[in-house]
Amino acid sequence: MPYSIPDDEYLKEALHRVIKRNKGISSLKKLKKLVIKELKIKNPDYTVSSERLRKIAVTAPFIDVTIESRRNDSIKDLKGRCPVCDGLLKKTKNETIFGGTVTLGYKCMRCPYWTTLQRRIPTRYRFEYDKEGNSHEDRLQERNKDK
Ligand SMILES: [Zn+2]
């Protein structure tokens, strides 16, 4: 089967249309199906891999992504890279009562992925339209305010 790869710009456009039209897409598989359908309107040979779509979707400003994950039993080295979008991970630290710091885990600088030292393996994604285009940082603060 012949196939072509759309450029990032067109992929984002298609993603934007899909996410705007559908309220809450509960898995990457569903999102992929909808996006490919949208891409094919322009070119019937267009397709996109799950990995590429995931990386674009988790960092798109118009999407609020929720990442569900399970704990991993075996400690695997993340090599400083996010397993969701390949972005850089930042250590999250807490101050101890003795004036030192302790590493609690890692959080991604680009997408909503975070993990404790016991690695969290992403299992499911949920995509919601965010018309305000907040950054993940803003959303995090917004959520913490509610608590
Ligand atoms: Zn990430």
Ligand 1 centroid to Cα of residue 54, in Å, is: 10
Positive or negative CA dihedral for 78, 83, 89, 93?
negative
- pTM score, two decimals? 0.78
What are 94-122's pLDDT values in tens digits?
888 888 888 888 999 999 999 888 788 89
Instruction: Give distance in angstroms: CA of 101 to centre of ligand 1.
Output: 24
Query: Mean pLDDT of all residues in the chain?
Result: 87
CA of 127 to the centre of ligand 1 (A): 15
* Residue 147 pLDDT class (50, 70, 90 cuts): very low
Residues 13-17: what's their mean pLDDT?
Answer: 96
Q: Indicate the residue type of 98.
A: F
The DSSP H or E segment spanning 66 is: strand 63-71
